[in-house]
Structure 1
C-alpha cells in the first residue's frame, strides 16, 4: 500500500446495507474544511464554527446545493482522537445510496478513499496504540464468540503489550550491566563470575516459555474448536450434527452414503465456537464422488481438535467400525459416541475400556447431547472463564508466538555461551540485541513497511 500520510482520508465506517444509521469517517488535516464545505444548517446556511466533540444537526448537500440527507456531524480535534489527527464523523440515515453519496461528496472535496486498515495504521504511526493493540482491534471486529471478544478486548487494553514491555525492560537492564563492564573495564565490574547474567536470562526465558504455552488455549478461544464427526455410513453422524446445532442442517435418510461431502457449521458452547464438520461415511467407496468425500474426511481428521467417532449402539461394533477404530486409536483427541440410545444399546461406555472418552446418547431425542458438549470443551481446554482470569495474557496470534520463540532462541545462545565458557561481552550483547529486536517487532517498536502492509491489509476499510 502506497500511503501518503499528509492526505486526508475518508471511508464508510458502518456495514454496507440497510440500517438505521450510516457513518462516514474522515481523518486528516482537511477534515474540518471538508465538513464546512458540505454541511448546511437546517435553514440552508453554511456553518463556520464546529465545537470540539459536539454533535451538530443539519444537512449534507451536493455540489448543486441539493440536500443529500439530514445528518448529525461531529468534529474531533487532534491529538485526542483515535488516529491522533483531526477526525470528522457524519452520521446519516443508513442505506447504500445515501451513505455512498455522502462519501462521494467528501472525496470530491479533496479527501481520498482510505486503504484497508489505514485509520488504525495512522493511530499506530501517531503513537495512539501499539501494534498488538492494532491487531486486537481487528480481532475484536472479527470475533465470532463472546469469549473471543473478551480476549481481544484484553489485548486492546494492553495486557500483552505490558507483558512484552516488562520482558524488554528486564533485558535492557541486563544489556546495560554488560555494556557497563565493556565501557568501564577499569572499574572491574564482575559480570559472569557471580552468575548474575545467567540467572537473569534464565528468568526471562522462563517468562517467555510461560507466555508461549498459552498459545494453544488462546488460539482455541479465538478461533474455536474444530470438531470432526466421523464413522461408517448411517450411524447418525448427520443427525448428531443437527442435534448439536438444534436445527435441520444436514440431510438425514435411511440410505447409507447420503453425506458425500464435508458440511461445516458453527455453534457456540460456553462462549466458544464449535466448528462442527459432518464428514462422509468411511467405507469402500462405490463411486468417484463418494471417494473424494472420504478423502476429504481423512484430511479433516488430521486438522481436527476433537474427533467424534460415532457408532450405532443399537447394533454394536461392526467390522467397518473396527477398521475405523484402528486409525483413531492412535489419536489422543477422540470421543467415542455411542448413538441411538433410544433404540436400546448393545454396547455401553463401561464395555468400551479402550477409549478414554465415551458418551452414550440419542441424536434423535437429544438425550446426552449436553454431556457430549461438556466433554468436547474439557478435552481441549479448562473452563474458558478460568483461563481468561489467569495472570498471564493469552497469545492468540501466530506472529507473536513466532517472535517470542525467536527471542527465546537468541537468549538460549547467551546461556550456551556462558555454559561453554565463551564469555565475550560483545557477542553476548549481540544475542541480547537480537532478542530485543524480536520483542520490539511484536509491539511495533521495530517495524518494516512490508510487515505493516501485511498486517493492516487484513483490516476492513474504515477501521
Structure 2
C-alpha cells in the first residue's frame, strides 16, 4: 500500500510517449523550485535565482556537467495555487522521447522520485483541491471515447455530480438532527416522530437517489457504447448499411448472396455515442459448411446486441426467409426494422409493417434515411437523449458510484420500513441514516480507505 501522506517531491513526463512538438516534465513537492533552479539556465548560460509564480521563462535545461540538453519554457506555480496544492514546476521542451527522458533523469538525480500512476491527482485530492468524483472525472476525460462521454466527464470535473451528492447528504444530516432531537428530548419523542417530517424527508431523499440510479443506464451506454447487430437474409444490403453508417467501404458488397460469411465488427460514433457495429452473415438455410458456421456466429451475436437492425429488401417485399428470421426476433424489444433499397422502389414499406413499432425506410446505397436510423438507435438505448446531450440531467457513469448509491438507498429503505412498522426507535433510525451518509460520503471521498485509493488511482496514467 502506498503512503499517500508522504511529502516526497515527485516527477513524471506529462505528455504521451513518442514524437511530438512539445514534451512536458512535471514536478510537484517542496523541492520543485530548488530542482528548477539547479537545472535552468538563461539563454546566456547564467543561473537564475528568482522565479515569479505563473510566469513563463525561456532558457536552457542543463545536465549535471552543465551541458545544455534543450531549449525550454519553464513555469513555477507556488502552493497552494496549483493543481496538486503543492509547489509545482513544469518544464516544456521539444517533443521526442530522448530529450524528455533525459530531462526527467536530471530531475530525478536532484532528489525527486518518479511519480506513481495517478499520484499528481491523488495529491490534489489529499490537499483538498478536488474531491474523489472530480478525480475520477479527470481519468474519464482522458479516456473518453466519444464527445458525449467527454462532456459528461467535464461536468463531473466541474463539480455538478459532487454538488448533487452533497445536497443529498445535507438533507440526510438535517433529518438525522431531527431524529436526534427525539433522543435528546425523550419526553417529546412520540410527538417529534409522529409529525411525519422524518418519513417525508426520507421519501424525498430516496426519490433523489433513485433518479440518479436510473441515469446509470444512460451512463453505461455513454461509457461502454452500444452494440448494434445487423441481421437479415443474404443480399438485402446489410454490408451496404454497415458501410453507410461507417461512411467508408469496409465490407465487401456484391450481388452474390452469402458474400459475408463471418461476423465483421467495426466501431463508429453515432450521435456522439460510441457504437460497435456487427455485420452478420446472411441468415438462411444452407448446406455450405463455412457459411453455416458464419450463420451460427450471427445468431450468437444477436444475444449480445443492445440493438438489432433487421434489414429487409423493400424492393422485393417480404420473403419466407424474412418471416423465419422475424420468428427468431419476435418478442425482442430492441429490434429496429430497416426497409432498405428505397432507391429501387418499395414493394413493402413501414406502413405495411404495423406490428413493428420501430421501422425506418432507407437507401443504404444512396445514404438516405441513415440520419433518422441513427436517431432511432440512440433513442432505443437512451431514455432521454436530449437531456443527456444537453447536460440538463445528471448522469452517473461509474459502477462504484452506482453500488454506493444502491447501498445508501437500501439504508434509507430500512429506516422507512421501521417507521411504517411502528418501530420508531430514534437510535435505530439514526444508525440507518449513518450508514446512508457513509455510503454517500464514500462517493465524494469524505469517507474512504487507502484500499479504495489504490483501486481508483492505479487506473491513471503516470504523470496525471
After TM superposition, give the deviation of residue 18 of structure 1 in Å: 2.0
After superposition, where does 1:103-142 map in structure 2 within 5 Å? 103-142=104-143
Query: Given the alignment of the two structures, is residue 177 of structure 1 paired with residue 178 of structure 2, yes or no?
Result: yes
Report which stretch shifted further, 51-60 or 377-386: 377-386
Equivalent residue number for residue 357 of structure 1: 358
Matches of 1:161 and 1:299 in 2, distance apart?
41
Equivalent residue number for residue 53 of structure 2: 52
When normalised by structure 2's length, the TM-score is 0.93
Question: Any idea what SS the aligned residue of 2:422 has?
Answer: coil
Q: Deviations over 1:278-324 (max 9, x none)?
A: 23333457677656644543443333332111123333333332232
Checking the alignment, whether the CA contact within 8 Å between 1:221 and 1:384 is kept in structure 2 is no
Question: Any idea what SS the aligned residue of 2:430 has?
Answer: helix
Question: Any idea what SS the aligned residue of 2:315 has?
Answer: coil
Checking the alignment, whether the CA contact within 8 Å between 2:228 and 2:275 is kept in structure 1 is yes
Q: Which ranges in structure 2 are unaligned for 5 or more consecutive residues? A: none
Question: Any idea what SS the aligned residue of 1:450 has?
Answer: helix
Question: Aligned pair in 2 of structure 1 residues 364, 389: CA closer, same or farther (>3 Å)?
Answer: closer
Equivalent residue number for residue 214 of structure 1: 215
After TM superposition, give the deviation of residue 24 of structure 1 in Å: 0.9
Matches of 2:227 and 2:462 in 1, distance apart?
29
Q: Deviations over 1:396-438 (max 9, x none)?
A: 2222122111111111111111111112222111111111111
Report which stretch shifted further, 337-346 or 180-189: 180-189
Question: Any idea what SS the aligned residue of 1:91 has?
Answer: strand
Matches of 2:280 and 2:39 in 1, distance apart?
56
Question: Any idea what SS the aligned residue of 2:123 has?
Answer: helix
Equivalent residue number for residue 73 of structure 2: 72
Checking the alignment, whether the CA contact within 8 Å between 2:152 and 2:391 is kept in structure 1 is no
Report which stretch shifted further, 213-222 or 348-357: 213-222
Matches of 2:335 and 2:312 in 1, distance apart?
13
Matches of 2:280 and 2:34 in 1, distance apart?
58
Matches of 1:75 and 1:360 in 2, distance apart?
60
Question: Aligned pair in 2 of structure 1 residues 29, 385: CA closer, same or farther (>3 Å)?
Answer: farther
After superposition, where does 1:71-90 map in structure 2 within 5 Å? 71-90=72-91
Report which stretch shifted further, 308-317 or 150-159: 308-317
The count of aligned residue pairs is 463
Checking the alignment, whether the CA contact within 8 Å between 1:211 and 1:392 is kept in structure 2 is no
Report which stretch shifted further, 303-312 or 55-64: 303-312
Equivalent residue number for residue 380 of structure 2: 379
- CA RMSD, 1 decimal: 2.3
Question: Any idea what SS the aligned residue of 2:193 has?
Answer: coil
Question: Aligned pair in 2 of structure 1 residues 415, 344: CA closer, same or farther (>3 Å)?
Answer: same
After TM superposition, give the deviation of residue 76 of structure 1 in Å: 0.7
Checking the alignment, whether the CA contact within 8 Å between 1:408 and 1:435 is kept in structure 2 is yes
After TM superposition, give the deviation of residue 387 of structure 1 in Å: 3.2
Equivalent residue number for residue 320 of structure 1: 321
Checking the alignment, whether the CA contact within 8 Å between 2:133 and 2:156 is kept in structure 1 is yes
Question: Any idea what SS the aligned residue of 2:75 has?
Answer: strand
Q: Which ranges in structure 1 are unaligned for 5 or more consecutive residues? A: none
Equivalent residue number for residue 459 of structure 1: 460
Report which stretch shifted further, 383-392 or 42-51: 383-392
Question: Any idea what SS the aligned residue of 2:250 has?
Answer: coil
Equivalent residue number for residue 168 of structure 1: 169
After TM superposition, give the deviation of residue 256 of structure 1 in Å: 4.0
Matches of 2:289 and 2:444 in 1, distance apart?
50
Checking the alignment, whether the CA contact within 8 Å between 1:27 and 1:85 is kept in structure 2 is yes
Checking the alignment, whether the CA contact within 8 Å between 1:151 and 1:222 is kept in structure 2 is no
Q: Deviations over 1:364-405 (max 9, x none)?
A: 222222222222223333674543546542212222122111
Question: Aligned pair in 2 of structure 1 residues 368, 438: CA closer, same or farther (>3 Å)?
Answer: same
Checking the alignment, whether the CA contact within 8 Å between 1:12 and 1:99 is kept in structure 2 is yes
Checking the alignment, whether the CA contact within 8 Å between 1:147 and 1:384 is kept in structure 2 is no
Matches of 1:260 and 1:121 in 2, distance apart?
50
Equivalent residue number for residue 337 of structure 1: 338
Matches of 2:171 and 2:283 in 1, distance apart?
55
Equivalent residue number for residue 39 of structure 1: 40
After TM superposition, give the deviation of residue 452 of structure 1 in Å: 1.7
Q: Deviations over 1:214-245 (max 9, x none)?
A: 22223334443332212233322121111111
After superposition, where does 1:45-444 map in structure 2 within 5 Å? 45-186=46-187, 190-283=191-284, 293-381=294-382, 384-389=385-390, 392-444=393-445
Equivalent residue number for residue 2 of structure 2: 2
After TM superposition, give the deviation of residue 189 of structure 1 in Å: 6.7
Matches of 1:23 and 1:249 in 2, distance apart?
38
